[in-house]
Amino acid sequence: DVKVTQSSRYLVKRTGEKVFLECVQDMDHENMFWYRQDPGLGLRLIYFSYDVKMKEKGDIPEGYSVSREKKERFSLILESASTNQTSMYLCASSFPPQLSDTQYFGPGTRLTVL
C-alpha cells in the first residue's frame, strides 16, 4: 500500500513566522504535489514536482515555495506566514506508468496562522 505521510496534522503559527510543511512518500513516486483545501473552493494546486530538484508552479503559488532534495520528500515553505494562509494543506504523490496519473494523498495538515 502506498503511504504518504505529512509531518503534522495540526499546526498553529503566528503571522510572519517561517513555516515548513513536510511530506514523505514511500513508493518511489516521481511526481509530488501540494494543494490547499478551503471550504467552497475545493482543492487548489500550489506547486508540483516531476523529480528531484525540479519544481513547477501550480494555480496559486504566491506566498509559497517548495523544496525537493530527495525523491521521497517534498517540502512546502511559507516564508512569512499570513492569516490568509490558514487552510488545510494536502500533499500527494503519483507515478504514471499508465495512461494517466492516480494521486495518493496524505492525511493533511491543518494550519492556523494567528
* Contacts with other proteins, residue ranges (CB under 8 A): 4, 31, 33, 35, 40-45, 48, 50, 56-59, 90-92, 94, 96, 99-108
Specify the 3-state DSSP secondary structure of 6: strand
Q: Which residue type is seen at 1?
A: D
> Which residues have C-beta within 8 Å of that of residue 85, sequence separation ≥ 6?
63, 78, 111, 113
Residue closer to other proteins (CB basis): 17 or 45: 45
In angstroms, give the least distance from the CB of 44 to other proteins.
7
Residue closer to other proteins (CB basis): 17 or 30: 30
In angstroms, give the least distance from the CB of 47 to other proteins.
10
Residue closer to other proteins (CB basis): 1 or 69: 1
Q: Which three cell numbers stand for residue 96?
A: 504514471
Residue closer to other proteins (CB basis): 41 or 80: 41
Give, for 37, the enclosing helix (H) or strand (E): strand 31-38
In angstroms, give the least distance from the CB of 53 to other proteins.
17
Q: CA–CA separation, 57 vs 47, rounded Å? A: 5
Q: CA–CA separation, 92 vs 88, rounded Å? A: 13
In angstroms, give the least distance from the CB of 16 to other proteins.
29
